[in-house]
Structure 1
Amino acid sequence: MGKFNLKTDSANKVMNIELEGTFSEEDGTKSIQAYKQTISPINPADYELLIDCRKLNVTSADVVPLLEGCFIMFKSDGFVKVKLTLENNPILKMQLSRLGRKAGIENLEIISTVSV
């Protein structure tokens, strides 16, 4: 089961999203609805989007189109920058990098951390 947490930091112009676990199509749909509610009162073009993927598992093939739709949504919302933070997970990094390129997000930064 996938979990998500969304927070807007208006003072620093940052929207934070924490993702955890393995997302089903239902989890993904719920997270998109929450995302749309969270961004409705702000202008994303003034904000950075920081997505914490350190506890996220690789997405299964049947949910990839939903994730791809999220990346397209992030691009169309026009965030100043989109940053993804990962643990040292090369497969997830490749998957998210590919989806970001496919969606055309030019301001995507993926930070891969190594846990000690």
Structure 2
Amino acid sequence: MAQAPYSIQTNQAAKKVDMKVSGTFTPQDYQNFVRDYAKMASSIDAKTFTLEVDCRDMDLLGTEEIDKLKGSFAGYKETGFQKVVFIISAAQMIIKMQLARVAREAGLNTIEIVTK
């Protein structure tokens, strides 16, 4: 079985959730992500946590992916993280714009996009 295009790890001591996304999600990957995300979200007090999403290996998003991403961002907002940080590389200016636009459309205001 191929490796999932995401990972989610909770660091209770640092009050941080580390998430890494890469490539493009298939519909099955997305369903698995939603399930794994819900499991993680129910195990923490999100308002005291920062969600850090490493997007450096993420592919550009097509229209279908943008809709799914908007659903994920709405989930992040609903979960109530203290802050959501997206990590991108300097070469990912288009992805930076996509992330910022989708966050705005999903009403996710507590974001920061960091270049590493």
1:97 and 2:108 equivalent?
no
Matched AA of 2:108: I
What are structure 2's unaligned runs of at least 5 residues? none
User: How far is the alpha carbon of 1:24 from its aligned partner?
Assistant: 2.2
How high is the TM-score relative to the length of structure 2? 0.91
1:72 and 2:62 equivalent?
no
Structure-2 residue corresponding to 1:51: 53
Matched AA of 1:35: Y
Count of residue pairs brought into register by the alignment? 113
Counting aligned pairs with the same residue, the percent is 29
Give the whole-Å Cα distance in 2 for the aligned partners of 1:106 and 1:39.
19
Instruction: State the Cα RMSD in Å.
Output: 1.4
Which digits, 9 at most, give the CA deviation of each residue in 1:4-63, with x for residues without a partner?
Answer: 111000001001101111122221221111111112111111100000001111122122
User: How far is the alpha carbon of 1:105 from its aligned partner?
Assistant: 1.5
How high is the TM-score relative to the length of structure 1? 0.91
User: How far is the alpha carbon of 1:99 from its aligned partner?
Assistant: 0.5
What are structure 1's unaligned runs of at least 5 residues? none
Which secondary structure state, in structure 1, belongs to the residue aligned with residue 64 of structure 2?
coil
Give the whole-Å Cα distance in 1 for the aligned partners of 2:106 and 2:36.
21
Which secondary structure state, in structure 2, belongs to the residue aligned with residue 62 of structure 1?
helix
